[in-house]
Structure 1
Amino acid sequence: MGPAGEQSEVEQVQVIDTLSHASGSRTLPKGHRWVVVDVETSGLRAYAHRVLSVAALVLREDGSVEREYSTLVDPGCDPGPVHVHRLTRERLAGAPRFEQIAGELAEVLDGGTIVAHNAAFDYGFLDAEFRRAGTEIPARHRLCTLALSRRLELDVPDHKLSTLAAHWQVQQLLEHDAYDDARVLSEVFVRSALLAESLQLPLPVVDCLSRRPAYPDSVPRVPCEWKNPGRLSLDVGLVQGMKVVVTGQTVTPRVPLAGRMADAGLDVMNSVSRQTSVVVCNDPGVQTGKIRKAMAEGIPVVTEQQLEEMLTRVIPGEPKMRPVVEVAAPAAEPVIEPPPQAAPAEPLADVPSLPERMLTGQKPKLWQGRRVLLLGGTHLDAVLMRSRLVQLGARPSLNLTAAVTDVLMLEGGDSDRRMPRITARELPVLTKTDISAAVEKGVVPPHMRIESRISAPALARGEVIDLPARKMSWTVNVAWRAETDDFDVDVVAFLLGEDEKVDSDDDFVFYNNPSAEDGAVELSIDGSSEQSVRLDLAALPDECARIAIAAAIDGERTFGELGAVSVSVDGEDGTAATFVLDAGTTERTMVLTEIYRRAGKWRLRAVGQGYDDDLGGLVALYGVDVEEGN
């Protein structure tokens, strides 16, 4: 969280009473058959793990349950983290297999919009199970209550289901029980949907089919438990942990062949990199992109027959160990290091990079913790005012949410369709004059109630903070105005070395390749205007020095048309920082943020560097081979 400071004799702001929407008349948004779903699983990867239990509740228009379905499922494998879900082999013995329940579950889901907490996870597991059963999941849309909670900007420390249940005063009887979690979630969803309607916020419904990964020749990544021992020596043979890439035509279909290699302890990749141990190709003369790169790097190339012979005697490897994070005692005062003087070896473009400015540990700024919604004005007016709000310590809000404390009225803003809601909430209305007086003289407008809560720092473009050393799991949440659903925006991530280039195409994370480094970096499309990148910094290899997270707009639309983009970097128990990037004009791609290693620490930088290139141009700048063959 942000730095804490003392404030005296402050008045607590009266934010919207969200609980008042939990009673009275309840009518869910029409046009959807809402089905609340929860699954418990044997692990985190849908392609490798299985569903252990599933619950589905079909809701009526008034939010009550019309039909419910719940069952345990025999996965035919180890149930995984029993300490979490309590589903032992003994409890699952005698339960039906998924293929036995697929028909009845399909009837419940048919034509429905799946509602789940972290819906990409639940939908992904159900989609995988239906595919294994030889059919398809009959639901085409989903809504993530995690994304809905973030869109509403509820006054909660985090967005876990247990936290939201407490916020909405819903009793939770048995956490990580599929049926009880679905029951609790149905109440959370109903209350959240009604609040969204009162704020005129559209719900974050996702079309699942429009973003389904579609690389027919790629093989699913299976986490490898062994360290990479390096390049193949034909005298020694294969060693567990070796990174293997297959290219060209194979006698055995590629996916089953990859499965056999993974079972043997090999790390099967889709792209060639400097870490690749061996490339399998029956005809090196085809000169695919992978073969050309292997030859350039001096990587051994073997035939499928040679591979088959070596698979019979794979040498045991060295197990991976999670790195131990050493935590230094915090200093009494923050140490601010000057930015590095050396420029990157290969800059992305001729545009000057932003100066690195460390956020110091000063007391909260004048408007720390406030959320201000801008109405009206030109693009340049809005950019200037948001910059001044950040200077004051406030956070610009893109939507009318439950957290908005003030409204900044610019020219033409009084005709905004949300004005009746703003008037009903009695939100203070600020002007440019109020902002100028606050920036220049430290004046607090008399009609503005002072916020006493401490919130995460709002970074300006170019500012840098150190991430807490003990925390390795983060989610970079990216959002834009909820009403701009006619924009096709892709959030992407690049795992970069010291040269600020990817090591292989597998280090480019996007909707067709949503996970890298065994899930250490993972993309999730959470809503119609919300996407996130989840990071496990402890699981990244040493050669990954930086993660760049960017956004690209498909077609000819630009960031000037899209408007401001909000970025929030959230941990399990709070937010490290937030920032709003709104300086875009003609750009079609934008680097939003970077998380990088420096002096044994992980740092976060607010970037906001835009380019007129499309996504293909951006990935080429980071070293992704967009024309590499199979």
Structure 2
Amino acid sequence: MHAPARGTVALPRDHRWVVVDVETSGVRPNAHRVLSVAALALREDGSVEREFSSLVDPGCDPGPVHVHNLTPERLAGAPRFEDIAAELADVLAGATIVAHNASFDYGFLDAEFRRAGISLPAEQRLCTLALSRRLELDVPNYRLATLAQHWQIQQLQEHDAYDDARVLSEIFLRSAAMADNLQLPLPVVNCRTRKSVHPASVPRVPCPWKNPGRLTDGLVQGMKVVISGSTATPRTTLANRLTEAGLDVMNSASKQTSVVVCNDPTVQTAKVRKAMAEGIPVIAEQQLEDLLMRVRPGEPKVATVIDIIPPPEPQVAAAPAQQSRALTGQKPKLWTGRKVLLLGGTHLQAVMMRSRLTQLGARPALNFTAAVTDVLVLEGGDTDKRMSRVAARELPVLRPGDVDAALQDGVVPAHMRVESRLTAPVLSRGEVIDLPSDGDRWAVNVAWKAEAAGDEFDLDVVAFLLGADEKVDTDEDFVFYNNPLYDDGVVELTIDGSSEHCIRVDLAALPGECERIAIAAAIDGHRTFGELGAVSVGVDSEGGTAATFVLDAGTTERTMVLAEIYRRSGKWRLRAVGQGYDDDLAALARRYGVDVDE
């Protein structure tokens, strides 16, 4: 199902769409720089109304030249970002930024504008990765080159900011047209409305030195230092001095902390209590000043690839056509590969029917997407407004009796199409599989029903890095909207859609003491999972999808543990959990040992 050709479609008029692409010297906006930027402002028909493109002199090493081909020689004589900031800001004024992996591009532009003393004048963004996931396109992955091939768009020069923006504008036009046809809202997110429930913390700066352990007879580069309570020197200034001396400034104490700095230990802050419980030295600010006069050299860390290569685009890759990952020891189920949309019925009827579809190996669909293969009509479903589009696509219409016959007698309805896409296994609640050993980087993609504007659920997906005691070792092991990055991207939260969040994990880089990662979701306010409905989870790598599952048995719960990835006998395993609680995110965090302020 492809969108009509240009000239017969139009972009939504309620936004000023500007497609953006940047090439950068690395992956961290606060440490790396923009090397080139392109911005294309689109008319309603998708044609370019205004464009901006420029190389940028970053004033530093350009990083992975083998990726973007922007050598120091090519960048010589280019303007600095502050020289182009005013003109670029004029192009972006009042715009909704459209980008592929939009949180990456937006983050770099926001950091560069801040350095230039200007606010980024665009407060909304749309991620074409999130849009493609919402549409559930029939592609092996969602890389820009793959989508260009899917939409038959010629790509002239990959990783060239202008050409990537040109290609992306065509992808966006076709994708927006398909979303309109399917009556799916576009995943536009507001960049500046995230909540702030934890106190401001010192920005983390990666430390190039190994941690030598606890403080004994002096400071050594790489030691982990935590500051607690009031200080004579402003905390940020003091943290910068420690960082410049080669020390690793942390925001919370853990078993790996070398020393805690506190002028009044009798106050008994959470950090001081942790230090006393773990036997971590606690020193006053003046003692720290004396020790800073003679910091001994540390042992360098081994350089890692993630520091020099841009991040892989978040993936929700379908398994290759010749492959299908199945549960160990099980034959493919009768309806494996089907994507079934339910229409009509009560909440309880839909919950029961989704459970029965999962038993058959089918995956329940939350939205009417390009991937839907069949439609199951329950009571009242015949009057659903989507039935006209079901007929237009000639999708098989199933009835509850078809499900009964399949479960009881192994019958495949004659009107169900024989062909189906081979997919990963569909897990039931509580079911466990071994994650394939052919990849360490996994994306846990969480999605729910895409509601109309104004009726969105304020849902947050979070992750907890847990030790053998199933508690976090430090508050930084809690990945959420105010702490979206753990240890330079070993675990990362990305939010690029109003109903699509993702937790990305590099299992090979996790610390040895991390035995389990719990991925959960919390609804802010007083709405519940019973009101939200089904939540879909897909666990993917570049090699394909390991498993999918749908959790929809929620009633009064406001928080829910969705999945766990844990070590067992040298392997990583995945469990579909679906355990809900009636309390809020703060209570859930405390349950896992996070020290949350009242």
TM-score category (smaller protein): over 0.9
Give, in whole Å, the separation in 2 of the partners of 1:218 and 1:246: 10
Question: Which residue is 1:280 aligned to?
Answer: 261
Give, in whole Å, the separation in 1 of the partners of 2:81 and 2:241: 24
1:378 aligns with 2:346: yes
Three-state SS of the structure 2 residue aligned to 1:468 is coil
Q: 1:365: Cα distance to partner?
A: 1.6
Pick one of 451, 455, 461 that aligns with 2:423.
Answer: 455
Three-state SS of the structure 2 residue aligned to 1:411 is coil
Three-state SS of the structure 1 residue aligned to 2:193 is helix
Give, in whole Å, the separation in 1 of the partners of 2:462 and 2:352: 28
Pick one of 523, 531, 542 that aligns with 1:572.
Answer: 542
Question: Which residue is 2:365 aligned to?
Answer: 397
Give, in whole Å, the separation in 2 of the partners of 1:216 and 1:498: 28
Relative distance call for 1:212 and 1:610 in structure 2 (3 A) is closer
Give, in whole Å, the separation in 2 of the partners of 1:57 and 1:24: 18
Q: 1:266: Cα distance to partner?
A: 2.0
Asked if 2 retains the 8 angstrom alpha-carbon contact of 1:165 and 1:188, the reply is yes
Asked if 2 retains the 8 angstrom alpha-carbon contact of 1:246 and 1:281, the reply is yes
Relative distance call for 1:101 and 1:489 in structure 2 (3 A) is same
Question: 68-77 or 450-459: which moved more?
Answer: 450-459
Q: 1:213: Cα distance to partner?
A: 6.1
Question: Which residue is 1:164 aligned to?
Answer: 147
* TM-score, structure 2 as length reference: 0.93
Amino acid at match of 1:363: K
1:310 aligns with 2:280: no
Q: 1:287: Cα distance to partner?
A: 3.0
Question: Which residue is 2:562 aligned to?
Answer: 592
Q: 1:563: Cα distance to partner?
A: 0.1
Asked if 2 retains the 8 angstrom alpha-carbon contact of 1:515 and 1:523, the reply is yes
Question: 76-85 or 555-564: which moved more?
Answer: 76-85
Three-state SS of the structure 1 residue aligned to 2:287 is helix
Three-state SS of the structure 1 residue aligned to 2:219 is coil
Alignment of 1:319-468 (within 5 A): 319-321=300-302, 359-468=327-436
Pick one of 608, 612, 615 that aligns with 2:582.
Answer: 612
CA offsets per residue over residues 151-207 of structure 1, 9 Å max, x none? 000000111111101100111111111111111111111000000000000000001
1:188 aligns with 2:171: yes
1:225 aligns with 2:193: no
Three-state SS of the structure 1 residue aligned to 2:488 is coil
Q: 1:422: Cα distance to partner?
A: 1.3
Question: 115-124 or 22-31: which moved more?
Answer: 22-31
- Aligned-pair identity (%): 76
Give, in whole Å, the separation in 1 of the partners of 2:110 and 2:174: 28
Q: Which structure's relative contact order is higher, taking Cα pairs within 8 Å and 6+ residues apart?
A: 1
Three-state SS of the structure 2 residue aligned to 1:596 is strand
Q: 1:46: Cα distance to partner?
A: 1.2
Question: Which residue is 1:240 aligned to?
Answer: 221
Question: 424-433 or 273-282: which moved more?
Answer: 273-282
Pick one of 153, 157, 160 that aligns with 1:177.
Answer: 160
Question: 163-172 or 209-218: which moved more?
Answer: 209-218
Question: Which residue is 1:40 aligned to?
Answer: 23
Give, in whole Å, the separation in 1 of the partners of 2:385 and 2:203: 47
Question: 388-397 or 140-149: which moved more?
Answer: 388-397
1:625 aligns with 2:567: no
Amino acid at match of 1:447: H
Q: 1:489: Cα distance to partner?
A: 0.4
Question: 418-427 or 282-291: which moved more?
Answer: 282-291
Pick one of 581, 589, 605 that aligns with 2:551.
Answer: 581
Amino acid at match of 2:29: A
Asked if 1 retains the 8 angstrom alpha-carbon contact of 2:265 and 2:272, the reply is yes
Three-state SS of the structure 2 residue aligned to 1:155 is coil
Q: 1:519: Cα distance to partner?
A: 1.7
Q: 1:260: Cα distance to partner?
A: 3.0
Q: 1:462: Cα distance to partner?
A: 1.1
Q: 1:416: Cα distance to partner?
A: 1.8
Give, in whole Å, the separation in 2 of the partners of 1:257 and 1:264: 11
Asked if 2 retains the 8 angstrom alpha-carbon contact of 1:158 and 1:573, the reply is no
Question: Which residue is 2:320 aligned to?
Answer: none
* TM-score, structure 1 as length reference: 0.88
Relative distance call for 1:508 and 1:90 in structure 2 (3 A) is same
Three-state SS of the structure 1 residue aligned to 2:256 is coil
Asked if 2 retains the 8 angstrom alpha-carbon contact of 1:390 and 1:459, the reply is yes
Question: Which residue is 2:245 aligned to?
Answer: 264
Question: Which residue is 1:21 aligned to?
Answer: 4
Give, in whole Å, the separation in 2 of the partners of 1:37 and 1:300: 49
Asked if 1 retains the 8 angstrom alpha-carbon contact of 2:6 and 2:45, the reply is no
Q: 1:31: Cα distance to partner?
A: 0.3
Three-state SS of the structure 2 residue aligned to 1:552 is strand
CA offsets per residue over residues 56-108 of structure 1, 9 Å max, x none? 10000000011111111111122111111111222222211111111111101
Give, in whole Å, the separation in 1 of the partners of 2:130 and 2:505: 17
Q: 1:550: Cα distance to partner?
A: 0.2
CA offsets per residue over residues 484-509 of structure 1, 9 Å max, x none? 64311011110000110000111111
Q: 1:292: Cα distance to partner?
A: 2.4
Asked if 1 retains the 8 angstrom alpha-carbon contact of 2:456 and 2:498, the reply is no
Relative distance call for 1:103 and 1:361 in structure 2 (3 A) is farther
Give, in whole Å, the separation in 2 of the partners of 1:420 and 1:88: 55
Gaps of 5+ in 1: 1-16, 325-357
Aligned length: 576
CA offsets per residue over residues 559-584 of structure 1, 9 Å max, x none? 00100000111212421111110011
Three-state SS of the structure 2 residue aligned to 1:547 is strand
Give, in whole Å, the separation in 1 of the partners of 2:62 and 2:295: 28
Amino acid at match of 1:264: A
Question: Which residue is 1:354 aligned to?
Answer: none
Three-state SS of the structure 1 residue aligned to 2:232 is coil
Give, in whole Å, the separation in 2 of the partners of 1:60 and 1:365: 48
Asked if 2 retains the 8 angstrom alpha-carbon contact of 1:323 and 1:538, the reply is no
Question: Which residue is 1:531 aligned to?
Answer: 501
Amino acid at match of 1:260: R
CA offsets per residue over residues 13-47 of structure 1, 9 Å max, x none? xxxx22x5244512001100000001111111112
CA offsets per residue over residues 112-154 of structure 1, 9 Å max, x none? 0000011011111111111111221100100000000000000
Three-state SS of the structure 1 residue aligned to 2:527 is coil
Question: Which residue is 1:3 aligned to?
Answer: none
Relative distance call for 1:72 and 1:216 in structure 2 (3 A) is farther
CA offsets per residue over residues 410-463 of structure 1, 9 Å max, x none? 111122222221121111110110001111111010111023431111111111
Gaps of 5+ in 2: 306-325
Give, in whole Å, the separation in 2 of the partners of 1:323 and 1:50: 19
RMSD of aligned residue pairs (Cα, Å): 1.8
Asked if 2 retains the 8 angstrom alpha-carbon contact of 1:221 and 1:518, the reply is no
Relative distance call for 1:202 and 1:533 in structure 2 (3 A) is same
Give, in whole Å, the separation in 2 of the partners of 1:79 and 1:250: 38
Pick one of 254, 257, 273 that aligns with 2:235.
Answer: 254
Give, in whole Å, the separation in 2 of the partners of 1:56 and 1:212: 29
Relative distance call for 1:311 and 1:96 in structure 2 (3 A) is farther
Question: Which residue is 2:105 aligned to?
Answer: 122
Give, in whole Å, the separation in 1 of the partners of 2:526 and 2:119: 34
Question: 244-253 or 516-525: which moved more?
Answer: 244-253
Give, in whole Å, the separation in 2 of the partners of 1:427 and 1:321: 55
Three-state SS of the structure 2 residue aligned to 1:211 is coil
